Amino acid sequence: MIRLAACQYAIECLQTWGAYEQHLAALCQNAAGQGAQLLLLPEYAGLVLSAQLAPEMRSDLHASIAAIQPLLPRWRALCADLARTLGVYLQPGSAPVLDSDGHYRNRAWLFGPEGELGHQDKLIMTRFEREAWGVAGGREGLRCFDTDLGRLGILICYDNEFPLLARHLAEAGADLILAPSCTDTEAGYHRVRIGAQARALENQIAVLQAPTVGLAPWSPALDENIGRAGLYVPPDYGMPADGVLAESSQLSPAASQWLLAELDIAGLRRVREQGQVFTRRDWPEQAVALRPSPISAR
């Protein structure tokens, strides 16, 4: 068994580095103190750093993204120190990062007890990211991370709505997908949640979702946030009949809270070998089934 923690992360206006550092440390210590071995925060959690900017700058969408860039190395160092000190794996959400080609990308780092393990960029951008922010899709593809808890991948928010991305990670051996999300409507939350649960079903893997919650009128990027944390698995032998291994009880609480759940990786693998169905194994049969008789118009 491994113990996972997904945060319903309430956006707070922490106006100094010291206040933010204390906040993030206390949050992570709380989860680690309850036995969590892997901590997941949501998409764009790093944008909370913009609260440290002058009011006129943090209220400007493009200026705030540019102005937090000097803070990101310090943020990464803080996250690495927390993971090392607490002896946990930490995915602290994502942040828009100015890349070497002059484009911003939505980037999520993973840290472990041994330090920074690497990053995953969001690949497919939402309309808001494309049209309002000018954030570009990742150009490095997908990667798996080998950890003491198992092999995992990261699909940021919207990426969970595209089956071939999770399929690529599953074929690369991932047992768990981390799904940090940031949605400003209930419909948006459910799109990602349904996608996460579908990816768990199709690939017979687990997907852990962590959302932003609450109101942040001081930030045009994080002004409204709705979501529920959850851990989704294939509905099969030894797993919940509805595929929901754990889900937070409240949609968008006023304060940050952790969803803690235990995942049986060995049991998950047994489902792929001895389950009622073999959706992961049978995936290629879709192409075979369609080849001889394409859909005809009537």
pLDDT in tens, 15-40: 999 999 999 999 999 999 999 999 99
The SS3 call for residue 24 is helix
Give the torsion through C-alpha atoms of 231, 121, 191, 48, to 10 deg. Answer: 80
CB 69 within 8 A of CB 53: no
Domain 2-284 has what CATH class? alpha beta
Rounded mean pLDDT, 227-256: 95
User: In this predicted structure, what is the pLDDT of residue 183?
Assistant: 96
Mean pLDDT score across all residues of the chain = 95
- Cα 1 vs. chain centroid, distance in angstroms? 21
Greater confidence, 244 or 220?
244
Of the candidates 177, 199, 195, 204, which has an alpha carbon nearest to the alpha carbon of residue 268? Answer: 204
pLDDT for the residue numbered 200:
98
Q: Which residues pair with 135 in a beta bridge?
A: 104
pLDDT (tens digit per residue) in 90-126: 999 999 999 999 999 999 999 999 999 999 999 999 9
- Give the domain ranges of the chain: 2-284
Question: At a CB cut-off of 8 Å and minimum separation 6, what does 242 contact?
Answer: 235
CB neighbour burial string for 193-227, b if at least 16 within 10 angstroms, e if fewer: bebbbbbbbbbbbbbbbbbbbbbbebbbbbebbbb
Given a cut of 80, whether residue 293 has pLDDT beyond it is no
pLDDT digits (tens, 9 = 90+) for 210-220: 999 999 999 98
**Would you state the pLDDT for residue 297?**
55
Judged against a pLDDT cut of 80, whether residue 298 lies above it is answered with no
**Helix/strand number for the chain, H first, E second:** 10, 15
